[in-house]
Amino acid sequence: MRRGVRGSAVVFVLLAVLSPGAPARAAAPLPLERYFDNTAVSDDARPGEADFDGSGASLSAGDLAAAGWTPGRTLTVLGAPLRWPARAPGEPDNVRANGQEVRVTGRGDALAFLVAATGGDEAGGAGEVAYADGTRSAFRLTSPDWRTGPLATKAVALPHVSTPSGRIAERARLYVVTVPLAAEREVASVRLPYARDLHVFALAVRDAGRDWTGTWAASTSGYPTVGPWTDRTLRLVVHTSVGGTRVRVRFDNTFAAAPVRIGGATVAVRASGAAARGTPARLSFDGAGGVEIPAGAQAYSDPLAFAVPAGADLLVSFHLPGPVTAAPVHRLAVQRSYLSEPGDHAAEEPGGAYTSTLTSWPLLAGVDVGGGPGSVVLLGDSITDGDRSTVDANRRWPDVLAGRLRAQDAVPRYGVLNHGISGNRVVTDRYPGDGVSTDQAGVSAPHRFDRDVAAQPSVRTAVVFEGVNDLLAGTDAGTLAAGLRELADRARAAGLRTLAATIVPCGGRTGCSAAVDAERTEVNAWIRDSGAFDAVLDFDAVLRDPADPARMLPAYDSGDHLHPGDAGLKALADSVDLRLLVP
């Protein structure tokens, strides 16, 4: 049995070596703010008071405020609470990494850094964590550049770069980057890398999921126009995989440019349609009835004593005072949810106020239950998302897998988190990761890995089942295999057991030529034989027609020759050896 950084048996040791010319270590680690030596944020009326990159450019305080990134505010990104520096524009607000020893405490699965690089390219280097028991672990921290880095992985993008001569209409990026920790050890301090072009604004230990198991989740696939919604309540229907006696929900404002306000929210077991079984229970956020979520950030509700049944429908209702003209969504819900007439109807048991239906899941990204054995994340495309499965019936293959786990006692009854996105690819972003877009096929699997896999609550195992969309778009087998290997390597670094599923046939589909099938066959051979993953699920062998291996068995084909129907999805889930899910 392989143990990763989440396993208690792992010890990392690093002998610290000072780089030439590096300063001597402080007698005792200091809070990050004590090291601030660079000013990144300027007042829009006095842009010359900051010099982030050495050439006089800076971040606009007005743009940051418009995004909800105000001084001293705690922003939850990738499950980690990061405090934006409580500094006025024109005051030092970040540190250029130069081996500083920073006082940080806590236990968790990862360190999260709020960072950006200057100099025109990514910047980073080796750092070190010191634990309270005297052990140490090494990490490598790298950040993209604040003006040229990928928008797909940014935490927030601002519309301007400030210069002494005025603002430029150019996207300024800030990033949150995580590095794994040795699980269950108390962190005492962190030594930053020696990388002067790496700027650190905040860091924190992430412990978002240690006492929780994910029972339902969905990936943000894009940021389309909606509504507009003003004074409306959304009642979203989600299907649980495991149950528990406590619940919390997570809203994600991923990819957004502005904050969104949730006026109030509730959770209830569904009776039928939009009607609840009993009075919905009120959720709170840091004790308040509602919450404003900054651009790019998340909001977790406070733990609530609430009986969540396994394998059942929940109603998560939330009021949007508005106006909301665009929102992060998961486009393909394969489930009807509901939109109300004007007013806050979140606490109503009857469903009469909900007069319109929705076919997507806006803003809501996760539901967790207290305790439990942890969760399995299924990272995939439309086949995992449930495209062409029966609407409102929960016959996606992750749903069937969750039912199998609930019905047995041989392995832990893990939560199953469906992170499939219809149209998603491994090596290419379909949605660029910034701005309002009609394309809702998501950023690439590697670009969403940190959010959709590593940051999920108590994740134990990841299953990767992607690639057919890349092949249909012309990606060759070698490039796709390299992208899949990157996912395997990153999962291994995060301490996760990782499985890969072979790509199923698509013969008969327009564009699925003999040349595409040859590339698919080559990738599948690599998946089976490379050893990149801990185990392989041979979904190709499950669905292919023995008489014509380039095509699915007709009994499993939904009719479009790409997506399995309900029977094919059940065959995939039934083929999984549940023992392979156990780390």
- Helix crossing, 514-529 with 477-493: angle to 10°? 30
Confidence of residue 169 (pLDDT cuts 50, 70, 90): very high
| Ordered DSSP codes for 50-99 | --SSSSS-BEEHHHHHHTT--TT-EEEETTEEEEPP---TTS--BEEEES
CA distance linking residue 288 with residue 514, whole number of Å? 59
CB 215 within 8 A of CB 371: no
CA distance linking residue 425 with residue 422, whole number of Å? 9
Please tell me the number of Cα atoms within 13 Å of 199 on its side-chain side: 28
Confidence of residue 184 (pLDDT cuts 50, 70, 90): confident
The token pair that represents 57 in the structure block: 């450019």
Confidence of residue 482 (pLDDT cuts 50, 70, 90): very high
Query: Which residues contact residue 55 at a Cβ distance below 8 angstroms, ignoring those fewer than 6 apart?
Result: none
- Which residue has tokens 């550049």? 145
Residue 555's CB is within 10 A of a number of other CB atoms, namely 12
Task: Name the 3-class secondary structure at 555.
Answer: coil
Identify the pLDDT of residue 4. 38
Per-residue pLDDT tens digits for 349-407 = 999 999 999 999 999 999 999 999 999 999 999 999 999 999 999 999 999 999 999 99
CA distance linking residue 206 with residue 376, whole number of Å? 19
Residue among 351, 324, 327, 354 nearest 339 (CA): 354
Identify the pLDDT of residue 260. 98
The whole-number average pLDDT for the span 424-451 is 97
Domain residue spans in the chain? 32-206, 228-327+336-363, 373-583
The whole-number average pLDDT for the span 174-194 is 95
Query: Which residues contact residue 451 at a Cβ distance below 8 angstroms, ignoring those fewer than 6 apart?
Result: 78, 219, 220, 254
Per-residue pLDDT tens digits for 227-248 = 999 999 999 999 999 999 999 9
Residue among 418, 411, 398, 422 nearest 573 (CA): 398
Query: Which residues contact residue 33 at a Cβ distance below 8 angstroms, ignoring those fewer than 6 apart?
Result: 85
Identify the pLDDT of residue 210. 83
Range scoring the smallest mean pLDDT among 2-11, 87-96, 120-129: 2-11
Burial-class residue 154 by CB neighbours within 10 Å (0-12, 13-18, 19+).
buried
Per-residue pLDDT tens digits for 254-283 = 999 999 999 999 999 999 999 999 999 999
Architecture of domain 373-583: 3-Layer(aba) Sandwich (3.40)
**pLDDT higher than threshold 60 for residue 52:** yes
Identify the pLDDT of residue 27. 64
Task: Name the 3-class secondary structure at 102.
Answer: strand
**pLDDT higher than threshold 90 for residue 25:** no
CB 183 within 8 A of CB 154: no
The whole-number average pLDDT for the span 100-115 is 97
CB 578 within 8 A of CB 2: no
